[in-house]
């Protein structure tokens, strides 16, 4: 009988209002997409269980409000996070430029022991709107390199493009980081 360890991973999704944070979470957890936009008030989370490296992993995915007036809620939500998902909209350059602010605020509020090695992933969402693209993939990859962010995916919550792969990747990175911290 193999000994399976249960693991809980806390993921925080950050980014400007309207970039698709809630849609990405709903697509990953429930395989659902809604065209109805409803702003998240405060924060909300969904859980999903996955098998990863022969471990049952419960992912607690926290979706936060993108509006500045809720940013003071950060501390409580960010504490204890195992990974952070930064989201921008490929048709909205301002949402990409704000990634610095979101990343810096997360690091300040969450206070991880080793900020340089903390698992971040960047998602350029809404690739289903390619004709309206205003943030080039190369620009995002350069930003990731400059911030030591290992993972960048271009996603579409609407069409489920690379959503599963992106969340599996960040879960795997967080699990690996957690195991390194335990050593």
Please, what are the domains in the chain?
Answer: 6-182 (3.40.50.300)
Backbone angles phi, psi at 179, to 5 degrees: -70, -35
- pLDDT score, position 2: 46
- What helix, strand, coil percent values describe the chain, rounded to 5? 40, 25, 30
- pLDDT score, position 140: 98
E strand or H helix that includes residue 8: strand 6-14
Give the pLDDT mean for 104-119: 91
Residues in CB range of 26: below 8 A, 6 or more apart: 32, 33, 34, 46, 157
Share of the chain above pLDDT 90, in %: 68
E strand or H helix that includes residue 124: strand 120-125
Tell me the pLDDT tens digit for each residue of 50-101: 998 888 999 999 987 766 555 556 677 788 999 999 999 999 999 999 999 9
E strand or H helix that includes residue 64: strand 55-64
Q: Where residue 1 falls among pLDDT bands split at 50, 70, 90?
A: very low
Mapped onto helix, strand or coil, the DSSP state of residue 34 is: coil
């Amino acid at each position: 009988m193999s000994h399976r360890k249960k693991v809980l991973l806390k993921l925080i999704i950050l980014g400007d209002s309207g970039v698709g944070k809630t849609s990405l979470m709903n697509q990953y957890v429930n395989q659902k997409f809604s065209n109805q936009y409803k702003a998240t008030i405060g924060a909300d989370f969904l859980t999903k269980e996955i098998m990863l490296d022969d471990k049952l992993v419960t992912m607690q995915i926290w979706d936060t409000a993108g509006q500045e007036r809720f940013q003071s809620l950060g501390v409580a939500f960010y504490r204890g996070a195992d990974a952070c998902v930064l989201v921008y909209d490929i048709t909205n350059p301002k949402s990409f430029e704000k990634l610095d602010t979101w990343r810096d605020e997360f690091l300040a509020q969450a206070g991880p022991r080793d900020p340089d090695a903390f698992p971040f992933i960047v998602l350029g969402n809404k690739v289903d709107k390619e004709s309206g693209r205003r943030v080039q993939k190369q620009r995002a990859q350069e930003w990731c390199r400059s911030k030591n962010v290992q993972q960048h995916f271009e996603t579409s919550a609407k069409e489920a493009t690379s959503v599963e792969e992106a969340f599996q990747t960040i879960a795997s990175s967080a699990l690996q980081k957690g195991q390194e911290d335990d050593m």
